[in-house]
Amino acid sequence: MQVIPTGLEGVFILEPKIFTDSRGYFFESFSERIFCEKVRKISFVQDNESKSSFGVVRGLHFQKPPFTQSKLVRCIRGCVLDVAVDIRKGSPTFGRHIAVELSEENHRQLFIPRGFAHGFSVLTPEVVFQYKCDNYYAPQSEGAIAWNDPALGIDWKIDPSAIILSEKDKHHPTLAEADWLFDYEENLYP
C-alpha cells in the first residue's frame, strides 16, 4: 500500500496495490500494521456505510471531545469528491482543505485525523461510501461547518443548483461563525 502525504498535516491518501487477473482483482484494503507504521497508531472501533445519489453533499462534519473521531474513508461504488478541512485554531493550515476523488475504480482511501471537518459530494448516479472511525458516534458531540463557506473555497464539482442537502446541513455556521473549533496545541490523541 502506498501512503501519500497531502498538503495538510496528518491527512493521507492511501493507494492499495491491486492484483488483477482473468477472475477479477484482489487488494488489501486495510492492514493495522502498515497503517500504524506509515500513518499513525490507531484503533478503529466502528465501521459505517452510506448510500447516496448524484448531487448529495454530506458535510462538513466532525465530532467534539470526548468523542472526537479520525476517519478512514473509501468509496466502494461510484465516485465522490472527498474533502477534509483543517479546523484547528493556530494551525499553519487552518481553514485550508484537501479534495480527493475516491472511486470504485481507483480504490483510494483518505485518512482524516481528529481536528478536521469532513464531507463529500456524490459525482455519479449512486455511491456506496464506507467509513472506519476510531471513536464511537455520539449525537451530542456533533459539530459542523457550512459546506458552502466562501472562505473555504471548496469546488464540490457539482452545479450548486443540483446539490442535495439534509435539513441539518443547510444550516451550519461558516468557519468564522463557528462557536467551537479544535485547538492546534491540544493533543487530540490521548
Mean pLDDT rounded to a whole number for the chain: 97
| Domain 44-183, CATH number (from 2.60.120.10, 3.30.230.10, 3.40.50.300, 3.90.1150.10) | 2.60.120.10
The answer to whether residue 131 is catalytic is yes
| pTM for the model | 0.96
**What is the band of 190 on the pLDDT scale with cuts at 50, 70, 90?**
confident
pLDDT of 24 higher than 90: yes
The residue ranges of DSSP E strands in 46-95, in sequence order, are 46-53, 57-63, 71-77, 79-86, 88-89
Active site residue 171: no
Q: Which residue is catalytic, options 107, 118, 131, 172? A: 131
Tally DSSP H helices, then E strands, for the chain.
Answer: 1, 15
